[in-house]
Amino acid sequence: MVRTTATIMGLVALLGGSGCSTHNEDLRHFLDANKVQVSAIEYRVGIPDAISIKAPRILEVDGGGGRIQPDGKISLPLLGDVKVVGLTAKEISLKLTELVRPYYKDPKIQVEVTGYNSKKYYVFGMVGGGSGGGGSDHNVSARPYTGRDTLLDVMSQSGMNFLAWRSRVQVIRAHPEEEQRKTITVDMDNMVRNGDLTMNVLLEPNDIVYVPPTPIAWVGLRLQELLFPFNPVIQAYRYPASVVDAGDTYANRNDD
C-alpha cells in the first residue's frame, strides 16, 4: 500500500509538472484565428448540414433548403438539384441568385445554416455535474462546430465541476501527423477573474478541450479505480450492519 501511494504521488508530481511551458509558436498558431472577428469566420457547409432559404418574391425557392443530401446537393422546384457542399451561406445565396436570374428580375435570396451536423469538436474531462461521468476523468461529449466557437463559449456551456483544475485547461489541436499536433494550456480562472481574453482561442473542427482534475482529485479518482474490485465486498460487509440498524430503529419505535 505504501508503494502504491508513493507511485500515485509521483505521478501527481509528474502531472503537475508536465506541459508547464507552452512554446511561443504554438500559442501564435492558436491565436492567429483571433486576429479577425469571431463572427466573420465563414462556415462551409458539409453533409449532413441543413440550410434554410428566404426569398419572399420567389415562391419556388422561398422556404426551401433542408438537409444536404449525401451527394452534396439540395433539391428545389424550378432549379432542380443544386450542389452546395463546401460553400458558405453567402456563396450559396449568390449561386441561387444567379440560377434564378433568368426567371426573376433583381432576385433577393438569403441563406442561413440551420443545422451544424458535419463538423464536431470535443469536450473531455471534469465538466458537467458530478465527477466527470460517475467518478471518471474521461467524460467526453461531441459538440457541433459552428465556426464561431471560442474556449470561453465552450466552458460557459459545459460547466466545470468541483474537481476541475481550472487553471490548467488544455486545448488540443488534433492532426493525423504527430508533428502537426498542438496543445496550449489556458488559465480559465485568470480569464474570468481579470477579464483577460487573450487566450480565448477560436476552436477549429476536431479540436479537443480537456479539463483535467486537480492533483488531489486525480489521486481520489485513481484510488476509486484501485478500490473498484473490492466495492462488492465492501457493500456486502456494510449491508448486514444497515439491516441491524434498521431493525433496531423499528423495534425502538414499536416499544415507544
Same structural domain, 210 and 132? yes
pLDDT, residue 255, reads 54
pLDDT confidence band for 222 (50 / 70 / 90): confident
Q: Which stretches within 101-197 are classed as H helix?
A: 151-158, 188-194
Is it the case that residue 115 has pLDDT exceeding 90? Answer: yes
Look at residue 226 and tell me if it is in a domain.
no
CB-based contacts of 191, cutoff 8 Å, min separation 6: 152, 197, 199, 200
pLDDT confidence band for 137 (50 / 70 / 90): low
CATH number, domain containing residue 155: 3.10.560.10
Residue 187's identity, in one-letter code, is D
Lowest mean pLDDT among 59-63, 133-137, 159-163: 133-137
Q: Which structural domain range is residue 91 located in?
A: 50-115
CATH number, domain containing residue 109: 3.30.1950.10
Residue pair 160/184 in contact by the 8 Å Cβ criterion: no
Same structural domain, 81 and 157? no
How many separate domains does the chain show? 2
Average pLDDT of the residues in 105-117? 93
Same structural domain, 87 and 187? no
pLDDT, residue 32, reads 55
| Cα dist from 45 to 114, 178, 230, whole Å | 10, 28, 51
CB-based contacts of 159, cutoff 8 Å, min separation 6: 127, 128, 129
Residue pair 92/110 in contact by the 8 Å Cβ criterion: no
pLDDT, residue 214, reads 87
Q: What is the pTM of this model?
A: 0.67
Same structural domain, 107 and 142? no
Nearest to 135 by CA among 216, 208, 218, 211: 218
What is the distance between the alpha carbons of residues 84 and 81, in angstroms, rounded to a whole number? 9
Average pLDDT of the residues in 183-205? 89
pLDDT confidence band for 177 (50 / 70 / 90): confident
Same structural domain, 126 and 187? yes
**Better-scored residue on pLDDT, 183 or 222:** 183
